[in-house]
Amino acid sequence: MLKGIYPGSFDPVTFGHLDIIRRSSALVDELIVGVLNNNAKSPLFSVEERVRMLKEVTKNMPKVRIVPFEGLLVEFARETGAGMIIRGLRAITDFEYELQMAQTNHKLEAGIETVFLTTGLEYSYLSSTTVKEVAAFGGDISQFVPKTVIGKMQEKMNKKESVDNEQPH
């Protein structure tokens, strides 16, 4: 049974991520979406919230399992018995970092291969960071993220606004 891991922050999950999830799950028997629990990145959403949103948007994909992880990716791959790491490539700017990561991971664990899927053209501009920026300024993010995520983003932004308003001026 071929298991693949698609790791990332997914803060929040976008249509670009979903496109990679859909396409890569066709290549494996089981796709584990690994949600990185890394507070150093100060994510907008907690790992539990990111896992919940991913579960909701992939609930009709039987091959997909959403699992939080921290620490070394190859260690997580070993624990879950996955032989393949899947990453998405948007532009040349992604390439250098991704190549370095793939080579490092291959050195750490020669039995695990990294496979790259190129982004669907309609999503090549899309990143979680951009989505957060647009939402922070009240822009429409419905072209970028699933409905569930829009609601969660609005809740976050409202909460942030009320906290900001509480700060003494």
Q: Is 29 exposed, middle or buried (0-12, 13-18, 19+ CB in 10 A)?
A: exposed
Q: Which stretch binds ligand ADP (CB under 6 A): 72-80, 103-111, 122-130, 135-143?
A: 122-130
| Residue whose structure tokens are 């929040």 | 12
Q: Which residues contact 74 (CB under 8 A, 6 or more apart)?
A: 105, 108, 109, 112
Beta-strand ranges (E) seen in 22-162 are: 30-36, 64-69, 84-89, 113-118
Question: Minimal distance in Å, beta carbon 16 to ligand ADP?
Answer: 2
List the interface residues with ligand ADP, window 36-95 (CB under 6 A): 87-88, 90, 94
Phi, psi torsion values for 164, nearest 5 degrees? -60, -40
Q: Which stretch binds ligand ADP (CB under 6 A): 7-15, 23-31, 63-71, 77-85?
A: 7-15
Tell me: does residue 119 bind ligand ADP (CB under 6 A). Answer: yes
Residues making contact with ligand ADP (CB under 6 A): 8-10, 14, 16-17, 20, 87-88, 90, 94, 119, 123, 126-128
Catalytic residue annotation = 17, 41, 90, 128
